Amino acid sequence: MKRDFLHVSDFSSEEIVETLELTSWVKNKLKNDRSYFPFKYQTMAMIFAKPSARTRVSFETGFFKLGGHALYLGPNDIGIGKRESVADIANVLSRYNDIIMARLFKHDHILELAENASIPVVNGLTDYNHPCQIMADIFTIYEKLGSLDNIKVTYIGDGNNIVHSWLELALRIPMHFVCACPEGYTPDKHLVENVKANSKSIIEISHDPYDAVKGSNIIYTDVWASMGQKEETQERQKKFKDFQVNKKLMSASGTETYFMHCLPAERGIEVTDEICDSKYSIIFDQAENRMHAQNAVMIKLQKDSK
Ligand code: CP
Ligand code: NVA
């Protein structure tokens, strides 16, 4: 038996809370006592079909600091789904390694990878979702607010992979989540309906960013054109022009509101420098917490897979 982490909702509500507690514990452990090596003599294969700064560095350093060794397999190395089938890669990597982390284009490929691997698989982003990012984000919010009760998170921009993982979280942890996006850029309808029908969360899809941010604890944004969509950049900049996170939009929340961004940011496009560098911006805390949240996820998967 082995467990994977492909969607935030692969974990139950209790397991998400348990993972947040473990994140806090392992973060503290790494900062104060460098003698905890749960991954000693272990290896992690990291498959990257897309570029990355945070995901690569946080997984590689996190795994190393906990005693293991991580291998970077870039877009030109194994050619997953092109040079070799996803299933064959899954089988081969399972013979050498203890865990796989993969950043892929097609979500179906991460599902196939996990299905065919005999070791835990962690999703490091697909076109559909980015669960590790949102585990780090909710941990960061918990650190800042001290509680997850009655939080309102407003996401401004494209209804993309980041939004899908917020929705997966909202399926398990009650919250008020608003996605304010231009028409035609809404998140997956089936997922939205599923969360509305099967959780205590309040989910809204809005096309009015100024109305959406009212009373928000968090205003979150991401690039308007994700990896794989960069040829749409100009068209999207026109369609998204009223969705920039700037001083006017931040003040429209009418309350004390933190600014979040998964990064990389296109400063001056979806968010102004002024907001990125303001005292309400917690973007680098998020980035740091990627490592701690992922460490906790990996420790949990290994424990559950024994
Ligand atoms: N937030 C995030 O996943 O960053 P990278 O694309 O740099 O890994
Ligand atoms: N939506 C962005 C997130 C990057 C971390 C992308 O997929 O490019």
297 vs 306: CA distance, rounded Å: 15
40 vs 133: CA distance, rounded Å: 25
**179 is annotated as an active-site residue:** no
The pLDDT mean for the chain works out to 98
Atom of ligand 1 nearest to the CA of 55: 8
Residue 1 carries which side chain, given as an amino acid letter?
A: M
What is the mean predicted confidence (pLDDT) over 5-30? 98
Confidence of residue 184 (pLDDT cuts 50, 70, 90): very high
Name the residue at shortest CA distance from atom 7 of ligand 2. Answer: 226
Domains, the chain, in order of start with CATH, read 8-130+290-304 (3.40.50.1370), 133-286 (3.40.50.1370)
What is the mean predicted confidence (pLDDT) over 22-46? 97
pLDDT tens across 195-251, in order? 999 999 999 999 999 999 999 999 999 999 999 999 999 999 999 999 999 999 999
- Tell me what percent of the residues of the chain surpass a pLDDT of 90: 98
Which ligand is nearest the CA of 163, by number?
A: 2
Q: Which of 271, 284, 266, 196 is nearest to 229 (CA)?
A: 266
Atom of ligand 2 nearest to the CA of 55: 5
Q: State the CB neighbour count (10 A cutoff) for residue 41.
A: 9
Q: Is 158 in the pocket of ligand 2 (CB under 6 A)?
A: no
Q: Is 57 in the pocket of ligand 1 (CB under 6 A)?
A: no
38 CA to centre of ligand 2 in angstroms: 30
223 CA to centre of ligand 2 in angstroms: 7
262 CA to centre of ligand 1 in angstroms: 7
Confidence of residue 78 (pLDDT cuts 50, 70, 90): very high
3-state secondary structure string across 44-75 = EEEEECCCCCHHHHHHHHHHHHCCCEEEEECC
132, 179, 181, 262: the active-site residue? 262
Which ligand is nearest the CA of 124, by number?
A: 1
- Tell me what percent of the residues of the chain surpass a pLDDT of 70: 100
Quick one: pLDDT at residue 306? 78
Instruction: Give the up-direction half-sphere exposure of residue 260: CA atoms within 13 A in the CB hemisphere.
Output: 29
Which ligand is nearest the CA of 59, by number?
A: 1
According to DSSP, the β-strands at 152-156 and 202-206 are unpaired
Q: Is 52 in the pocket of ligand 2 (CB under 6 A)?
A: no
**What does the buried/exposed string (b/e) look like for 6-27 if buried means 16 or more CB atoms within 10 Å of the residue's CB?**
bbbbbbeeeebeebbebbbebb
